Structure 1
Amino acid sequence: MSLKKKVIIADVSLVGIALGWGYSFVLTKDVLAEMTPLYFISTRFLLAALILLLFKWKGIRNMPKQMWKYGIASGTALWAGFILQTLGIELTTPGKAGVLTGTMVVIVPFLYFFWSKVAVQRGAVLGSLLTFLGLIILSWDGSWAGVNLGDILAFLCAFFFAIHVILVDRAYKKNESVDSLSFITIQLFIVGIFSLPFAVSLEPLPSLLSPYGSYAYTFDLLIGTLLAYIVQIKAQQYSPPTHVSLLLSLEAVFAFLLSWLLWGEALTFHTVLGISLILGGIFITEALDLFRKPRSLEELKQPSSV
């Protein structure tokens, strides 16, 4: 299979993740009505890690020391992102939290430049800015006046999610033959084990979930966490960080569309405009890369230079 086809498959897989997360986002609202946020994060990530550990124990033990460092570092960044996002949502409006978390699509190209010293390319930047503008319009609820602590925490969470994407990319550049499942197991375990002390000290023990709550939790565990991060980590072997952040931003689009289709949420003009801009930003970035002719995986993983 050619490198170009592998990149296309990776990008399509990332769109699939965004779809799963979009549905998961809708379900999470129902889970959090029955379960506190920190217990939700800690238990689902620990369970996902334990499931993988059953199959990858030997692979984890044999991972190079350098990849262990990257696994711990990227897992810590992912944990920080989730904790800050959870705290931010508690202190600000959902619309503002969604937009500020979405700044990841703008942060990633510049972090990529900072770490790799590869110039920030026009196509990637244009696509990121259009996507971010779409997120602003999509999430606008008419109540963004003022900046509070929740806004700052939501922005910082986007910064750490961007760091996670970059660290995974750099890990693969250091060792392209790394066992992806072992690598993601470390990250999931870090998120779960770091979150657990906060849950135990700050929140009451969760009670048994209702049948629907159990379904929503199981979906978030198996699809929204376990499968999603396996696919993301694997896809990042072939998809550059700018593609990853852009395509994962489709989570907001799918969340709105699924809420409209399944729960009857109103589909307004600014919703349609926001979705159109997000799709336009992704199309620009993908189209520019489609007509390039990269010679190697390293070149293939650079942001668009058009």
Structure 2
Amino acid sequence: MSDDKLKWVYLAFLSLVWGSSFILIKKSLIGLTPLQLGAIRTLFAATFLFLIGFKSIKTIKKEEWKWVAISAFAGSFIPAFLFAFAETEIDSAITSILNSTTPLMALILGSIVFSISFNRKQLMGVIVGLIGSIALIVEGANANPSQNYWYASLVLIASVCYAINVNIIKRYMQNISPMAIANGNFLVLIVPAFIVLISSDFFNGETLQDPKVHWSLGYAGVLAIVGTGIAKVLFNKLVQISSPVFATSVTYTIPIVALLWGVLDGESFTLLQLLATSIIILGVYLANRKSKGLR
């Protein structure tokens, strides 16, 4: 299968997986604190990746490790905690919608900081998708007026982190295999994550004996292995075979899946949200039509 077709397969799979991640975060927080969830998610993902691809770390050159480390914190560690804290106050579906600002952040940072070009069609698609995202945010706020939307800023910070990560991968890590990037990331993160977990009081007897914690660990395990481990490798590959704007446009399709999970879990969904979702899909199409811009 050609890269042009394969990138759409990756986009669809990541939309399904990451769209489901927000409801898994919500369920994990029933028995875990945000600090515990962020740390456990990192440690579980690290264990899984080390089992399937630890040898790939040998292919990373000495001078490339600084970029692997920055990518680790920007693309995995910091967002894991920001999303966990955000979902203590706002719905999982709304969190996913706010995350759809990532392509705009990627385009702006890519142009200003990383000298990565974009074309007029990509800019138009990003703007259209952003309009759809804003409409979803506004309608979500109207439907859920009791939620603390100050926590939305945490999701926006996470979006900036993702934008930094995707541009670093595209600019400086093209010659590193996706598996090596993922394993290198979590090799960097495993000690900080363990320190956070110890400091979160996770290992006291009461926490470990709580049945709610057991269920939450199960949700966190699925989140870590599929939503972080497998998805991280595929996303790294997607960035390498496409553009930062295309790769991050997955955050425009994620809310569609997340909203469906939210409805099944009792979160509200309106016709205006459906309309806004259609606008998002249009934005993804416009941003990723074939052109002479960066692919």
The TM-score range, normalised by the shorter chain, is 0.7 to 0.9
How many residues matched?
286
- Give the Cα–Cα distance (whole angstroms) in 2 for the partners of residues 21 and 163 of structure 1: 19
- Give 1:73's aligned residue: 70
1:116-152 Cα distance to aligned partner (Å, 9 max, x none): 424442211121122222222223222789x986344
Shift, 1:265, TM fit: 4.5
- Give the Cα–Cα distance (whole angstroms) in 2 for the partners of residues 276 and 127 of structure 1: 13
Letter in 1 for 2:274: V
- The alignment status of 1:141 with 2:141, answered yes or no, reads yes
- Give 2:269's aligned residue: 267
Alignment of 1:46-195 (within 5 A): 46-78=43-75, 79-90=77-88, 97-139=95-137, 140-142=140-142, 150-173=151-174, 175=175, 178-195=176-193
SS at match of 1:103: helix
Q: CA 1:66–1:10 in structure 2 vs 1: closer, same or farther (change >3 Å)?
A: farther
Contact 1:104 1:245 in 2 (8 A): yes
Shift, 1:212, TM fit: 5.0
- Give 2:285's aligned residue: 283
Shift, 1:94, TM fit: 6.1
- Give the Cα–Cα distance (whole angstroms) in 1 for the partners of residues 223 and 93 of structure 2: 22
Contact 2:136 2:277 in 1 (8 A): yes
Q: CA 1:255–1:100 in structure 2 vs 1: closer, same or farther (change >3 Å)?
A: closer
Q: CA 1:103–1:220 in structure 2 vs 1: closer, same or farther (change >3 Å)?
A: same
Q: CA 1:144–1:130 in structure 2 vs 1: closer, same or farther (change >3 Å)?
A: farther
Contact 2:178 2:236 in 1 (8 A): yes
SS at match of 1:141: helix
Contact 2:39 2:194 in 1 (8 A): yes
- TM-score normalised over the length of structure 2: 0.83
- Unaligned runs of 5+ residues in structure 1 are 302-306
Q: CA 1:229–1:276 in structure 2 vs 1: closer, same or farther (change >3 Å)?
A: same
Contact 1:123 1:285 in 2 (8 A): yes
- Give 1:256's aligned residue: 259
- Give 1:34's aligned residue: 31
- Give the Cα–Cα distance (whole angstroms) in 1 for the partners of residues 267 and 152 of structure 2: 25
1:25-60 Cα distance to aligned partner (Å, 9 max, x none): 212211110122222222222222223223433331
Shift, 1:233, TM fit: 0.9
When the two chains are superposed, the root-mean-square deviation of aligned CA atoms in Å is 2.9
- TM-score normalised over the length of structure 1: 0.81
- Unaligned runs of 5+ residues in structure 2 are none
Letter in 2 for 1:10: K
Letter in 2 for 1:254: V
Contact 1:38 1:195 in 2 (8 A): no
- Give 1:304's aligned residue: none
- The alignment status of 1:7 with 2:9, answered yes or no, reads no
- Give the Cα–Cα distance (whole angstroms) in 1 for the partners of residues 94 and 258 of structure 2: 15
Letter in 2 for 1:73: I
Q: CA 1:126–1:265 in structure 2 vs 1: closer, same or farther (change >3 Å)?
A: same
Shift, 1:109, TM fit: 0.6
- Give 1:228's aligned residue: 231
Shift, 1:187, TM fit: 1.4
Q: CA 1:65–1:212 in structure 2 vs 1: closer, same or farther (change >3 Å)?
A: same
SS at match of 2:208: coil
1:208-242 Cα distance to aligned partner (Å, 9 max, x none): 55575454233212211111111111222201100
1:226-275 Cα distance to aligned partner (Å, 9 max, x none): 11111111222201100011123311111112333x44654311210121
Shift, 1:6, TM fit: 0.8
Shift, 1:172, TM fit: 3.3
Q: CA 1:191–1:125 in structure 2 vs 1: closer, same or farther (change >3 Å)?
A: farther
Shift, 1:280, TM fit: 0.8
- Give 1:199's aligned residue: 197
